[in-house]
Structure 1
Amino acid sequence: MIRLFHVSDVHFGREDRAAVAWFDAAVHAERPDAIVMTGDLTMRARSAEFAAATAWLEALKRPVTVEVGNHDLPAFNLFARLFRPYRRFTRLEAVIEKELDLPGVTIVPMKTTARFQLRNWSKGSVSDRSLRKAVSGVEAADKGGLVIVACHHPLIEAGTQATARTHNGRPALAALAQAGADAVLSGHVHDPFDRVVEEGGRPVRMIGAGTLSSRVRESRPSFNELRIDGRDLEVIVRTMP
């Protein structure tokens, strides 16, 4: 059995230190096979926040892949946002949007953030380029195991208090399902969810993680534990006591 910890929206700068310590203790005690972090490591993409996030990830000492969240792009420096949005990710470069290939499961990354939009910049957007790259990764994955896509924004709304309003999200979900994706992991909305929807003529599972930050909404700080046994996927929401 493969065990993954799916964590999201830690928001260093506004992190809940007790929640982060609780997650760290679970990682060190249980040693999951990998950690999938679906974005918003930081609150304002400041250097000090990235330094804290980097130290945190390195201390976990587990295989990890990290998606970029909307809070991980510079919020106030327009030049940096448009032309150097990932400059502060330097030490994390090796794990940003990294595909994980584990026995029985492949994790394929997909970017859903945009440097510029003629609307609220926090909302999701799937570019043609990002979708092509993700579909290619899904198609190349071993279909003998599960194929899971990881992104920051839910591709369609999941009934949570917060919204993603992801541009091109539903067509992207259909294309990923048609390519063979079994599930899509995301964050952004700060509340966990687990839904099966029919897209592209196939069922695909949408799984969202909560937050380890102080910016909670309807639920307490939490992360997801994914247990994969053959084609079976069990999702356990681990909520901080």
Structure 2
Amino acid sequence: MIRLFHVSDVHFGSEDRTALAWFDALVRDEVPDAVIMTGDLTMRARSREFTAAAKWLESLGRPVTVEVGNHDLPYFNLFARFFTPYGRYLALERMIERPLDIHGVSVVPLRTTARFQWRLNWSKGHVSARELQKALALVEAVPAGSVVLLACHHPLIEGGTLANARTRGGRRALAALATAGIDAVLSGHVHDPFDIPHQVGGRTVRLIGAGTLSSRTRASRPSFNEVRIDGREIEVIARVMDGPDVELTAETAVT
């Protein structure tokens, strides 16, 4: 059985240090096969926040892939946002959008952030044709028979949480990726966990969202997801700090 820790929205600069220490201890004691970080490592994309985030991820001692979140783009420096938006990720370069292959399980990245959008709220999701084609090429290169997990920051469609993603191009991307063969989408952004089976392209794709390990909680306490894969069966458990773990289904929520 493959065990993955799916964590999101740590927001260094507004991190919950107690929650991080709890997560670190679980990684050390349980040794998951990999850690999937679905964005918003930082609060304001400041250099010191990225330095702290890189140090934390490297300290885990496990294979890691990291998606870019909207908070990881420069907030105050518009020049950097437009021309070098990921420049402060240099300390994390090896982990950014890194495909993983772990004993029959493939993790494929999809970038859902945008430097500019034709709407007022640039924090929402956007899947460009270019990024979709890059993800599709990676899916097509996955060995036959693998379980394919797509990792992105914004949910491609809404998961019924308090916060929303309003991802432009998300439904189109989900349909194309389902046809290509993905089994599940792992995302963050909304700070509350969910697991929704979604019928698309004649098959079921799991839409799995992680909570937050930051101080910016919403409906849920600090949490992350443990994704267990046995053959082609996927089980998702929300690991909740100071609370019972919850096996996620379409009918359950963590409060």
Pair in the same fold by TM > 0.5: yes
* 1:76-131 Cα distance to aligned partner (Å, 9 max, x none): 11110000011110111011000001102000000000000122110000000110
Q: 1:91 corresponds to which letter in structure 2?
A: A
Match of 2:78 in 1: 78
Match of 2:167 in 1: 166
**8 Å Cα contact 2:4-2:227 kept in structure 1:** yes
Q: Give the distance between the partners of 1:84 and 1:171, measured in 2 at CA.
A: 28
Match of 2:201 in 1: 200
Match of 1:59 in 2: 59
Q: 1:8 corresponds to which letter in structure 2?
A: S
Correspondence 1:10-49 to 2 at 5 A: 10-49=10-49
Which deviates more from structure 2 when the two are superposed, residues 162-171 or residues 143-152? 143-152
Correspondence 1:100-115 to 2 at 5 A: 100-115=100-115
Cα root mean square deviation, aligned: 0.6
Q: Give the distance between the partners of 2:138 and 2:20, measured in 1 at CA.
A: 31
Match of 2:227 in 1: 226
Q: Which runs of 5+ in 2 are unaligned?
A: 243-255
Correspondence 1:48-197 to 2 at 5 A: 48-119=48-119, 120-197=121-198
**8 Å Cα contact 1:224-1:236 kept in structure 2:** yes
**8 Å Cα contact 2:13-2:49 kept in structure 1:** yes
Q: Give the distance between the partners of 1:70 and 1:191, measured in 2 at CA.
A: 17
The total of aligned residue pairs comes to: 241
**8 Å Cα contact 1:19-1:212 kept in structure 2:** yes
Query: Aligned to 2:58, what secondary structure does the other structure show?
Result: helix
List, as ranges, runs of 4+ consecutive aligned residues in structure 1 with deviation greater than 6 Å. Answer: none
Q: 1:37 corresponds to which letter in structure 2?
A: M
Q: Give the distance between the partners of 1:122 and 1:143, measured in 2 at CA.
A: 36
Deviation at 1:140, TM superposition (A): 1.4
Deviation at 1:142, TM superposition (A): 2.0
Q: What percentage of aligned pairs have identical amino acids?
A: 71
* 1:180-200 Cα distance to aligned partner (Å, 9 max, x none): 000000000000000011112
